[in-house]
Amino acid sequence: MSTPPKLVATSWTVLGDVTPRDPRWVSPIALPERLDILAAQGWHGVGFTQDELETVRDDGGFADLRGRLDAAGIGHVEVEFLSDWWCDGAEGDASRRTEEVLLDAAAELGAAFVKVGTAFREPIADLEPLVEPLARLGDRAAARGQRIVLEPAAVAMVESVPRGSELVSRTGRDNIGLLVDLWHVLRAGTTPEELVSSIPHGQVWAVELTDADHEPVGDLFTDTVDNRRYCGEGDIDIPSVVEALRTLGFDGPWGVEILSTEHRALPLADGLLRARDTATRFVS
């Protein structure tokens, strides 16, 4: 009998009726209830947003959460999301406060990495202004024994996985890796062949499985927040992307990232079960 794949319910998959449009990314569903569902369904890992982690820090602390995760059999933890790490002024100050929350949580929860990205803006032509700030962020994380993964996003300043890979490589830091979200692969027009040819072997440390229609519905931000599909229910060539990622040395744990009005409308247990079952067949 084959071993089931190790799947991670990323933060948006498990938050319930919350979207990136909301001012705070905190689930309306109590944490013990969410962990009970994850344990019953056999999820290997879970993700937490910075706002959820602030709430945890102020109500019981990270050690208490780690105990709850252990009791639920959750071994893999991801924490997110840091932006504006290249900024000065008020934006930079706010980013440093979020960074401290994420690094504290990563250390106490034994997180695999801290997820970071760039702002929802037009793609930038020159990556140079981001290289040194990302390298410094990597150094601050390394001083805490932590790793960073950069998520390129078709709606953001670093818009494609190949460009994200270039930025990671240019930092020269061995504690900075790459996150590949299949929605952004599709929307940036990146092919599996381009993934293999542009990314160094071993640089991909995190993957988010998802699906989407071939053409976006509405603008890209609306499409990524409201219209993602469960794996196999859209037009992404998931087997080819998974094969490319395995060629690059990645073989899990596999994140499952479902952001949609359909998913949020379901009872959490039903949505998580559907997310798990549809993703499993692509990485078994």
Residue with tokens 């056999």: 42
Distances (CA, A) of 258 to 8, 45, 48, 89, 138: 11, 15, 14, 34, 28
pLDDT digits (tens, 9 = 90+) for 143-161: 999 999 999 999 999 999 9
Which two three-digit tokens encode residue 94?
């706010």
Amino acid letter at 71? Answer: A
Contact 277, 201 (CB under 8 A): no
Q: Is the pTM of this model over 0.85?
A: yes
Domains and CATH numbers, the chain: 7-16+28-283 (3.20.20.150)
The per-residue pLDDT for 112 is 98
CA–CA separation, 275 vs 268, rounded Å? 10
pLDDT band at 2 (very low <50, low <70, confident <90, very high): low
Distance between the two ends of the chain, CA-based, in angstroms? Answer: 11
Percent of the chain topping pLDDT 90: 96
Residue with tokens 């799947």: 7
